[in-house]
Amino acid sequence: MEDLVKLAGLIEGKGPMVVLSGAGMSTESNLPDFRSREGLWARFDPMRLATLSALENRPEEFYAFYRMRLEALRGAFPNSGHRTLAKWEKKGLLAAIVTQNVDGLHQQSGSRRVVELHGTLLTARCKRCGAGFSGFVLLERILCERCGGPLRPDVVLFGENLPAGALEEAEQLASNAGLFVVLGSSLTVSPANSLPGIARACGAKVVIVNRDPTPFDGRADLVVRGEIGSALSAVDRLFESGAGGSEGPR
Ligand code: APR
């Protein structure tokens, strides 16, 4: 609990707060992460599936993988962690979220300032003519109804560039943050995993909330080992009870 009181104090005393979220943000919405024991990469080979060459050379496997993820997304809803972040944005405690997630759950919970570093599953486009569609169209067809070209989800595949401007905006947010909070990321994928270091180099306090250790733990000002949803709800209760804040419990 002491860690959460410290986190509450940092949030109230060291703004502006910027969050970097990873797949661990959405496991409490029943979406698997990637590198936990039961994560997607424990069952599938990312280099065989989440690449442009997979789309070109193994389309049946590629589309089956993304259809599976779209089906899972149909039954997924924001969890208490998403809702708490949206509440803190409305209260002026949280400036922005940089997310590696492609599930759209931050926006669905009401967060407005969200930078999607790795694109989104919610939309898809034709590789040939560029026409845009709902991502869920992939559950019905894989060819463009306009030109017959192959459709693909608007997620960043391994080896592809990030969406134009997203990384620059994320680096700007990290550079100007007073508090940089990582929620549910193994911090193993570049360039997202460079953001905590940028924030720290520019004077921000860095907090990591994660079930498992990350390579940045040793350089963080605070590491909360636990579940995101319950941790954020506990901090929010401290704010509501007036027991948070940079002075600590009053
Ligand atoms: N609360 C706290 N931590 C959690 C929770 C939870 N409820 N659920 C999972 N975690 C932690 C796990 O311990 C793990 O360290 O979240 C982390 C998720 O790490 P990854 O699965 O590696 O996900 P992420 O860091 O977002 O991956 C980055 O890799 O494959 C690519 O494009 C994909 O965006 C993804 C990127």
Q: How far is CA 129 from CA 94, 122, 133, 140, 152, in A?
A: 39, 19, 12, 19, 12
The pLDDT, as a whole number, for residue 131 is 98
Kindly give the number of the ligand 1 atom that is closest to the alpha carbon of 156: 32
CA of 35 to the centre of ligand 1 (A): 6
| Stated pTM of the model | 0.96
Distance CA 230, CA 221 (A): 20
Task: Place 164 in a pLDDT band, splitting at 50, 70 and 90.
Answer: confident
Residue with the smallest CA separation from ligand 1 atom 35 is 100
Which residues does ligand 1 sit against, CB inside 6 Å?
22-24, 27-28, 33-36, 39, 46, 100, 118, 184-186, 188-189, 210-212, 227-228
Give the nearest ligand 1 atom to 34 CA. 21
Amino acid letter, 235: V
At 190-240, the pLDDT tens digits run 999 999 999 999 999 999 999 999 999 999 999 999 999 999 999 999 999
* Interacting residues of 5 by C-beta distance below 8 A, sequence separation 6+: 238, 243, 244, 248, 249
21: nearest Cα among 99, 89, 77, 85: 99
List C-alpha distances in Å: 91 to 115, 118, 125, 229, 240: 19, 27, 36, 18, 12
- Mean pLDDT of the residues in the chain: 95
Q: Hey, is 106 helix, strand or coil?
A: helix
Q: Which residue bears the tokens 């994320």?
A: 170
pLDDT digits (tens, 9 = 90+) for 34-91: 999 999 999 999 999 999 999 999 999 999 999 999 999 999 999 999 999 999 999 9
The whole-number pLDDT of residue 244 equals: 59
Question: What CATH topology corresponds to 2-31+78-118+162-241?
Answer: Rossmann fold (3.40.50)
Count of other CB atoms within 10 angstroms of residue 247 = 9
CA of residue 153 to ligand 1 center, whole Å:
20
What does the pLDDT read at residue 248?
Answer: 41
CA angle 240, 176, 241 (to 5 degrees): 5
What SS3 class is residue 169?
Answer: helix
Cβ neighbours, 10 Å, residue 92: 10
Q: How far is the CA of 60 from the centre of ligand 1 (A)?
A: 26
Q: How does pLDDT run across 79-106, given as a tens digit for each residue?
A: 999 999 999 999 999 999 999 999 999 9
Cα-to-chain-centroid distance, residue 49: 20
Q: Which positions are catalytic?
A: 118
In this structure, the residue with its CA closest to atom 1 of ligand 1 is: 227
- Which backbone phi and psi does 157 adopt, to 5 degrees? -85, 155
The burial of 28, by beta-carbon neighbours within 10 Å (0-12 exposed, 13-18 middle, 19 or more buried), is given as: middle
